[in-house]
Every structure is written in C-alpha cells, then in structure tokens.
Amino acid sequence: AQKITQTQPGMFVQEKEAVTLDCTYDTSDQSYGLFWYKQPSSGEMIFLIYQGSYDEQNATEGRYSLNFQKARKSANLVISASQLGDSAMYFCAGWRGQGAQKLVFGQGTRLTINP
C-alpha cells in the first residue's frame, strides 16, 4: 500500500520566484509512480508531471520539474518563475499498489502567488 504525505498546508510566494512543494511517499513496491496534479478553484484536476521509480532522470515539463530522491522517498515539485495563474491546490499522488489502477492522494498544498 502507498501513503502520500504533503506537510505544507499552504504556501505564499512572490511572483517570478521559484517554489518547491514537498511530497514524501511510503511504499514497499519496487516499481511505482508518482504524479503531481494542480486543482484551480474551478475544481478540475490538471495533470502536471509524472515520475517513475525506474526513471534515471528527474522528470521535467516546462516550468515544472520533479526533485526525486529515492533514498529519502521524496518527490518534490519545483515550479520555476512562478506566475499568478499558478495559484491553486497542488496534489501529490501515487498508485495504491502493484497492478492497482487507483491513485492515493496527499492532503494537498494551497499555493498562493502574490504580485
């Protein structure tokens, strides 16, 4: 079984600064994957980035990158050059178990970008 922990309930960042959102996971599986989603106030969950446990390099997607540290069991999301439109809830998620097509989510971090 997988457990996802996000320890930052809220973060406030100045526009154009970089921000790191923390995520730790707990799984006994050798093969696993971790996702980050963004949820604006409209409610839609927007897929941002994926990291597989066997991926040799940290995932990157535009301004999003994942700081993946297997030994620490952490998968932190880094947003470079933050924008006002980045204000939203951010969720880290992982597969619940081997062969199980179901995600377990962290509690989320509410990111607020200040002008």
Report the interface residues with other proteins, using CB under 8 A.
31, 33, 35, 37, 42-47, 50, 52, 91, 93, 95-96, 99-108
Q: Which is nearer to other proteins, 28 or 42 (CB)?
A: 42
Q: Which is nearer to other proteins, 38 or 76 (CB)?
A: 38
Q: Which is nearer to other proteins, 20 or 33 (CB)?
A: 33
Q: How far is the CB of 73 from other proteins (least distance, A)?
A: 18
Q: Which is nearer to other proteins, 98 or 114 (CB)?
A: 98
DSSP E strand stretches across 53-108: 60-61, 64-69, 74-79, 88-95, 103-105
Give the span between the Cα atoms of 6 and 16, in whole angstroms: 23
Which pair of structure tokens corresponds to residue 33?
């994957």
Give the span between the Cα atoms of 52 and 16, in whole angstroms: 29
Q: How far is the CB of 93 from other proteins (least distance, A)?
A: 8
Cα 97 to Cα 32, 49, 87, 93, distances in angstroms: 8, 19, 31, 12
Q: How far is the CB of 43 from other proteins (least distance, A)?
A: 5
Neighbours of 22 (CB within 10 A): 17
Q: How far is the CB of 87 from other proteins (least distance, A)?
A: 18
